[in-house]
């Protein structure tokens, strides 16, 4: 349907496809400058887009952005938005996921030509390769976040990633240590180098990047407490201290007395280690560190020390992160208040805790029912 020069025009070009044309101005060469774009969706959406750019033209805020492909846009978004708003590790993760799934599959396509079907096909191919649904969802979040910015920049009228059907993720049951296994783990940890770091992880429930960043100044020996104030981040063979994962991740964790005594002994041993290293010692004030005071790495800890402990104690081959899950599961099975568990873990909400450890809830429900039965029926 044609309209006046001032109001622009909308022309149907296919099923759910509309061409928008709007006069912008007369350029310096005396030629008409028009904005032309294609909107996929209903006629109502096309009309909404046309009215929006008309208002922007009248206000003098409309910018007719040159056409770019998805790769060009993503690189621009990564440098001007993602790297500013997130840590270097996170933004590099965004780049890696985009390059792995989208750069060679649909990255060459014009940004305003990418359809829901294009993205859906990429996801179908990913699943055919045998990758887990959760892996696909991680890549989807990156693409959707970038395209959401494209909408804000008026490069596209809507985010096609929002309309894609995602596969249902299957929840994997986490393998954690039970009470007897945890006791054997602690005994085995006492007999191996760096064993204390694993006992500390089990008894505090901290994330690996948190317990590897704990400094002596974070420990209050009198109150048997430790504060989480920072996280250790490694990226491209470099390391640094960053802010904890969320605001709730900054927290104080009360620790058992036996662990306090072991930490006091460990501090005395570390002082001797520091004196022997002399000028080679790098003083980062870390509780858990390497031979010369430098931070420990998770892969090195896992393969050289953690797995041998599991083998020695004849325990299942769990991940280092599963010590955190073990900590939470043991507390919930002991009927600790989930809110207290959430605070110890540094979860943003108690809902996250209950959702993550829903496998423990049936046992808690049985215990609650038994108590109710005893109260009412004797």
Where is the domain boundary, 279, 296, 320? 320
3-class secondary-structure state, position 59: helix
Are 116 and 183 part of one and the same domain?
A: no
Same domain flag for 186 and 147: no
Are 80 and 50 members of one domain?
no
Of the three residues 118, 139, 163, the one that is the final residue of a domain is: 163
Domain membership flag for residue 218:
yes
Residues 157 and 207 in one domain: no
**Domains: count for the chain:** 3
Q: Which of 163, 197, 232 is the last residue of a domain?
A: 163
- Are the C-beta atoms of 150 and 156 separated by less than 8 Å? yes
Are 137 and 202 contained in the same domain? no
Instruction: Tell me if 350 is assigned to some domain.
Output: no
Q: Is residue 361, in this structure, part of any structural domain at all? A: no
* Same domain assignment for residues 158 and 247: no
Predicted confidence pLDDT, tens digits, the chain (378 residues): 444 456 788 999 888 888 888 887 776 677 777 888 788 888 888 888 888 888 877 776 665 655 689 999 999 999 999 988 887 778 888 999 999 999 999 999 989 889 999 999 999 998 888 888 888 899 999 999 999 998 888 788 789 999 999 887 666 667 889 999 999 999 999 989 999 999 999 999 999 999 999 999 999 999 999 999 999 988 777 888 888 877 888 999 999 999 999 999 999 999 999 999 889 999 999 999 999 999 999 999 999 999 999 999 999 999 999 999 999 989 988 888 889 999 999 988 887 787 777 766 666 667 777 777 788 886
DSSP state letters, 74-128 = HHHHIIIIIHHHS-HHHHHHHHHHHHHHTTTTTTTSBGGG--HHHHHHHHHHHHH
CATH number where 150 lies: 1.10.150.130
Let me know whether 211 and 296 are in one domain: yes
Q: Examine residue 325 and state whether it is found in any structural domain, yes or no.
A: no
Please name the residue that has the structure tokens 């025009």.
Answer: 9
Residue 216: which of 180, 177, 269, 166 has the closest Cα? 269
Residues 137 and 210 placed together within one structural domain of the fold: no
Q: Which residue range is the domain that position 218 belongs to?
A: 179-320
Residues 156 and 205 in one domain: no
Residues in the chain, how many?
Answer: 378
Claim to verify: residue 150 and residue 254 sit in the same structural domain: no
Q: Is the dihedral of CA 338, 340, 344, 347 positive or negative?
A: positive
Q: Which DSSP symbol is given to 191? A: T
Report yes or no on 195 lying in a domain: yes
Regarding whether 145 and 89 lie in a shared domain, the answer is yes
Task: Give the integer Cα–Cα distance in Å for 85 and 89.
Answer: 12
In a domain, 123, yes or no: yes
Nearest to 218 by CA among 163, 255, 165: 255
| β 32-40/17-26 pair status | antiparallel
Same domain, 310 and 235: yes
């Amino acid at each position: 349907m044609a309209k006046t020069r001032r109001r622009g025009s909308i022309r149907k070009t296919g099923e759910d496809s509309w061409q928008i044309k709007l006069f912008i101005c007369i350029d310096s060469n005396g030629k008409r400058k028009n904005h032309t774009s294609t909107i996929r969706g209903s006629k109502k959406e096309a009309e909404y887009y046309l009215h929006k750019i008309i208002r922007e033209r009248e206000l003098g805020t409309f910018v007719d952005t040159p056409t770019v492909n998805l790769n060009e846009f993503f690189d621009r978004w990564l440098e001007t938005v993602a790297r500013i708003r997130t840590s270097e590790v996170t933004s590099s993760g965004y780049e890696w996921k985009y390059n792995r799934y989208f750069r060679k599959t649909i990255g060459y396509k014009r940004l305003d030509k990418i359809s829901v079907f294009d993205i859906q096909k990429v996801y179908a191919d990913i699943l055919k390769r045998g990758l887990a649904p959760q892996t696909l969802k991680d890549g989807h979040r990156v693409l959707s976040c970038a395209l959401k910015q494209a909408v804000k920049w008026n490069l596209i009228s809507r985010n096609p990633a929002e309309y894609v059907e995602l596969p249902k993720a299957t929840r994997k049951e986490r393998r954690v240590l039970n009470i007897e296994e945890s006791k054997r783990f602690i005994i085995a940890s006492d007999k191996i180098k760096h064993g204390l770091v694993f006992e500390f992880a089990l008894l505090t429930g901290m994330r690996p990047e948190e317990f590897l960043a704990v400094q002596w100044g974070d420990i209050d020996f009198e109150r048997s407490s430790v504060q989480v104030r920072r996280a250790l981040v490694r990226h491209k063979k470099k390391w640094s201290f960053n802010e904890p994962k969320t605001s709730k991740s900054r927290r104080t964790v009360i620790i058992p007395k036996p662990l306090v005594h072991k930490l006091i002994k460990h501090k005395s041993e570390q002082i001797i280690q520091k004196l022997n290293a002399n000028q080679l010692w790098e003083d980062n004030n870390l509780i858990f560190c390497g031979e010369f005071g430098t931070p420990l790495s998770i892969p090195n800890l896992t393969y050289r020390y953690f797995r041998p402990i599991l083998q020695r104690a004849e325990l299942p081959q769990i991940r280092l992160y599963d010590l955190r899950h073990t900590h939470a599961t043991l507390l919930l099975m002991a009927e600790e208040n989930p809110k207290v568990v959430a605070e110890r873990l540094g979860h943003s909400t108690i809902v996250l805790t209950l959702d993550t450890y829903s496998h423990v809830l049936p046992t808690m429900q049985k215990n609650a029912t038994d108590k109710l039965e005893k109260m009412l029926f004797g």
